[in-house]
Amino acid sequence: MDFFAAQDDARRKTRWLIVLFVLAILSLVVLTNLFIMLFAEYSTDYYVQGHTPTTFWERFDWERFFWIGLGVTAVILLGSFIRTLSLRGGGRVVAEMMGARLVSGNPRDPLERRLLNVVEEMAIASGTPVPQVYVMDQEEGINAFAAGFGTGDAVIAVTRGTLEKLNRAELQGVVAHEFSHIVNGDMRLNIRLIGILFGILMVALIGRLLLRWGAIASHSRSRDSNGGVPLVVLGLGLLVLGYVGVFFGNLIKASVSRQREYLADASAVQFTREPQGIAGALKKIGGDAQGSLIRHPDAEELSHAYFSEGIHYLFGLNGLFATHPPLEKRILRVDPGWDGEFIVPRPVSPAEVEREEEKRHRLPLEGLAAGGAVLTSVLDSMERGSTPDVANLEQAE
């Protein structure tokens, strides 16, 4: 595959989608603003004050529009800040939120030792520091994620199913995919998306609170009093607008994530120079009964950060909210000759893994993802401060 062209295409589409995300937020601010102004104009209190109703646009006030818009924007920004602040610990906090366990430097489990070796190899191939490694012991599906604000606090977490069902080349493909998210800044983008979506949700949460207060006020006053009705109307409007904003925000988040997944797949091929590794992992996800499902209660919030689709939506909404492209499309991009058959994974033998890792330890150069040629290319590129020219290596071979 032409992974450089694939990377450029994914980056270009991502930029347009981020612009669309900003426009969606601005639209929410404007619509919420207009609703509040309409509510203020036509509420019961307004008529009690003796005003004569006229058309809305005759009474439109730009100053009031500005201040209401500023207030709505402040609510969204405050919610985003609070949620992002809760993740200020970086990748470690996200991994622990998902119930993952830190893998020690010298684990007794051969599968975990192999994982640490692969992570170190991919760190060399991608030219980044070695991140902390976590395992989600309770997750039987094949999946993984990278999290953090940058290379300094990055972590990579994999499921137990990933360790037990993938061979070494396939594990390399998955880990290389996650390193791409680190290199390309996707982790920071993911955390920002989590924060922004929570900020949009704040509008709906305020609406729900007002709706509850209005209902309480209506029941606590006399039957002839409509004192709680304005709060109910205002709360219901904000609730609807907030959830509509979350709906479209999730749609755009899913579109952004799909493009970043194509970019990460292409980068994984660049780092490993072995398309069959990541292709094999994707084929096994398609053939496994557990697939890539993440069962943790907070799985949805991190859905855009996984290696593969981690949750299933109700009512056939997978196509709309899917944060990852279909497996078939991803496989065909890295393996155009695929015959359409998925692979049913078999459990990996820890003893077999241990023998393989011992052999690779005796021959360390063979254990590098791209072999000696890629190691030389990486070292040369580090001296020049540039990206390894994999295309020239292919021609040299």
Query: So which residues are the catalytic ones?
Result: 178
Cα dihedral 372, 377, 379, 381 in deg (nearest 10): -170
Closest to 134 (Cα-Cα) out of 122, 144, 124: 144
Sheet of strand 101-102: strand arrangement: 101-102, 132-136, 155-159, 144-147
Residues with Cβ within 8 Å of 9's Cβ and at least 6 positions away in sequence, in order, are 262
